[in-house]
Amino acid sequence: MKKIDEYQGKKVLVMGFGISGINAAHLLVKLGANVTANDKATPKNNDIVEDLEADGIKVITGDNPISLANEGFDVVVKNPGIPYDNPLVAAFVKQGTPIITEAELGWQIFDGHLVSVTGSNGKTTTTTLTQLMIAENAKHQVKYAGNIGISFSKIAEDLEPDDTLVTELSSFQLLGAPTIRPHIAIITNIFSNHLDYHKTRENYINAKLNITRNQTKDDFLVINWDRDEWQKIAQRSQATIVPFSRLNKSHEGAYVEDGMIYWRGQEVMPTKDIRLIGPQNVENALAAIAAAKLSGVTNDAIKKVLTTFSGVRHRLQYVMEHQERLFYNDSKSTDIEATEVALQGFDRPVILLAGGLDRGYTFERLVPYFKKHVKAMIVFGECKDKMRDAGNQAGVPVIESENAITAVPEAWKLSEPGDVILLSPANASWDQFPSFEVRGDKFIEAVEDLTGKKEQ
């Protein structure tokens, strides 16, 4: 951990009691700050409040009182999910108070080799693969943290200058990380996500580009080269560009040709040996390979990881096989693009479980994928009627169920040996579940109840 003094004697407000917020509050105390912690909700677990107060932190819960904007805070550390049009946040913006996220705080104290991953889809899988690959050859610690569910600043506290940290960073985190500078940055792809938060696609892209904003030619930007738009986005970086591509050969980076993965013209391994299924996971593997090779990782280490790693939970996760049916949990597919790529990963008939929060869009884009890959659909949630319309356009049988749990036995009734039963909702979970993780866990529990087996 790097010793810094910029928070010594400063008044700092931490907004949000998530894992990152709680860790940030305690860290700021260690850095000499006078800390107030605020959360709009009142925690059900009072141990959280007691723990903060025991560290000398003033705690305010149940509201974001606008009066806090008049208390002379020097810095606000904001939970990434709190929007900038929140009245209290907007008041701080208006008066020019610096607002950062915990990722920025983690960067400020980090004193090692930083690899950071962002993108609309594939972040967690790419982060995990990269960490595993680098760790295979490393003589020092290699950890991961960030949006993957582990506090950046908490891990950074325990790392030394020779250690490596691979961080998954969301657009929300990056928007409040003005000085972050990874030595290797990865952009997996950029679609049109979170526009309810960012308001415009350009704002969303700009937030993503904070990952490379402070990089120089001595740093590397690993970026997907499969779309012209992403190639143009790369031109906005000062870093050395390292492309990865499933569709376009580029001797400057990682690419696929005739079923073989290459790194700068040298063979690495066949794509068929990657244990993860689907074209999106070939792309994730290519991104991780580029970062790993830039970090000095051997081909043998890369092959070991890619031939054994079976997936991140909720991201096209293989659950089990039962009576010649395969169950997959892709609850993290909260947008159309993610479900598109999930369906392309299967050469077996798919019974698709889909639906969720209605964000106002329709699903005509999925019709060609339904026609090619889907045997039957079970729809649920607020947007079930729109999902049904797309299924009808594709000529696919569609039935309705209450949710992703009740859909499991319905899917089983429709299935035959050789089928895939896939939860890939193409929608957020918040109409019925507090998170995609809970939705995925409940799906797995339903599969276990149906089969009498535990996930594999």
Do 274 and 310 meet the contact criterion of CB atoms below 8 Å apart? no
Rounded-to-integer distance, Cα 408 and Cα 263, Å:
42
How many other CB atoms sit within 10 Å of the CB of residue 313?
16
CA distance 209 to 224: 14
CATH class as words, domain 11-100: alpha beta
Mean pLDDT of 366-395: 97
Query: CA nearest 372: which of 355, 347, 397?
Result: 347
Cα–Cα dist 370/350, whole Å: 9
Which one-letter amino acid corresponds to residue 360? G
Which pTM value belongs to this model?
0.82
pLDDT at 198: 87
Residue 78, beta-bridge partner list: 15
The DSSP symbol for 42 reads P
pLDDT single digits (tens) 65-104: 999 999 999 999 999 999 999 999 999 999 999 999 999 9
Q: pLDDT, tens digit, for every residue of 325-362?
A: 999 999 999 999 889 989 998 989 999 999 999 988 89
Query: Got the DSSP string for 429-449?
Result: STTTSSSHHHHHHHHHHHHHH
Domain-wise residue ranges, the chain:
11-100, 103-308, 317-451
pLDDT value of residue 187: 98
Q: Which fold has domain 103-308?
A: UDP-N-acetylmuramoyl-L-alanine:D-glutamate ligase (3.40.1190)
As a whole number, the mean pLDDT across the chain is 95
d(CA 27, CA 49): 16
| Mean pLDDT computed over 52-65 | 96
- Residue 260: per-residue pLDDT: 97
Quote the radius of gyration of the chain (alpha carbons, Å): 23
Q: Is the dihedral of CA 169, 118, 121, 162 positive or negative?
A: negative
The whole-number pLDDT of residue 313 equals 85
Summarize pLDDT for 224-238 with one digit per residue, the tens. 999 999 999 999 999
Contact 190, 170 (CB under 8 A): no
CATH class, range 317-451: alpha beta
DSSP string, 154-199: HHHHT--TT-EEEEE--HHHHHT-TT---SEEEE----S--HHHHS
For residue 11, what are the CA distances in angstroms to 33, 74, 405?
6, 5, 47
